[in-house]
Structure 1
């Protein structure tokens, strides 16, 4: 008989919570807030900066908890851990480059100095999709089949 076995309940919980946070914020809240009555571009951008800043901090906590668990379990060189490196690199890129650049653009809009057009939002969305796919692939790797 085959059954699914969870290698690490903590990691499986964290990875799927992380996916849920990103999907709820990046793929729902980000555009829905602009549908609310009375929300101006400046107000929406201000809300977005606050929410995405908080999401980034939560994601960093999730990433660190996964890394600490992987290191403490001495599973750094596993296939699953190697898969996790892509979402971690994306999070790092978002934290040090994309989010600060998007915040600066939002600040300019809020000061009535619209910046030149940019593909930063497209890069961010593509990065989010790739990150979620990588996290999902990592989460699936935390399950394995066992024959009894």
Structure 2
């Protein structure tokens, strides 16, 4: 008898597989989540706008206000003169923006940390040629450097 995974388990499995593809998939998920939240909050504001009298009935205004409130919660002040339901949607937009931009900052920090760690491992390909590398330091290094300088004097373009 085989086990049949539930719908929820299959969705979680697909999300895990998608996010496991790397940082590009995570960034795409953040972007999709941002636009989904923007659309949801705009829809809520639009429905509230149809049921509550407001001096800004234009749909584009609702999109713009919501975008501003998600990207900068300080823009909640634009809803000071509106009914309480619009203030609640502004708070929801501000909190959503804080969550998404915190996740974006965490994503960027992690990606930068991984890039620096990769560079520190020293597996980068060196494209320079014609150089001498001295590993370590000891009392004979100065003597070796003098000999290298003397040997390079015969070159056309010594470094």
TM-score normalised by length of structure 2: 0.34
Quick check: which one's strand share is greater? 1
Instruction: Report which structure shows greater RCO (CA 8 Å, sep ≥6).
Output: 1
Quick check: which one's helix share is greater? 1
TM-score normalised by length of structure 1: 0.36
